[in-house]
Amino acid sequence: MTHDRPTPASPPIRPRHRTGLPIWAVLGLALLSVPRIFAHDLGIDAGPVPAILTIGPLAVWILVALRARVPSPVLTLLVVGAVYGLALGIVHNLLWDQVFGDDEPVLGELDADLAEVPLRVAAFVSSLFTGIAVGVSCGLVASAIRAVSARVRG
């Protein structure tokens, strides 16, 4: 006869997110790039600040992907880049009037008021693709660094 003794409850197994990072980390990494968007759109282009705001967050993305040993740096940073692209599109649209003022872009012979919506949509889609491209590029750099460091360690 066996006695069924209660076993201590094991902690629930949390499935890993496919990116290898929690959602808050993905959002946080993407949001690191938001100050650069504002600086660019508001014309703050003097000195080393724009370079720091551009390169710094991307270096952090790569370092976090390497340090966290994510399963696929390309996938992880593609997702981070997509979130960054969403932020890029949102900020560009929020600052549209400050950027263009009275010199709004035109779309052929279309009236400026009619052209604004398709131009804003195009800017948003372009921003999303830009973010994805930046994320994939950073993911490829992280993957290359991982491969080289693994080869060096032997």
What is the tens place of the pLDDT at every residue in 96-134? 888 888 777 778 887 777 888 899 999 999 999 999 999
Share of the chain above pLDDT 70, in %: 90
Q: Is residue 84 part of a domain?
A: yes
| Separation between Cα atoms, residue 62 and residue 137, nearest integer Å | 10
Q: Does some domain include residue 8?
A: no
pLDDT at 7: 56
Which parts of the chain register pLDDT below 70?
Answer: 1-16
Domain assignment present for 4: no
- Is position 37 within any domain? yes
The answer to whether position 114 is within a domain reads yes
Amino acid 10: pLDDT: 53
**Gap between the Cα atoms of 93 and 91, Å rounded:** 5
Sorted by sequence, the CB contacts under 8 Å of residue 61 that are 6+ apart come out as: 29, 32, 77, 80, 135, 138, 142
| Domain extent at residue 80 | 23-153
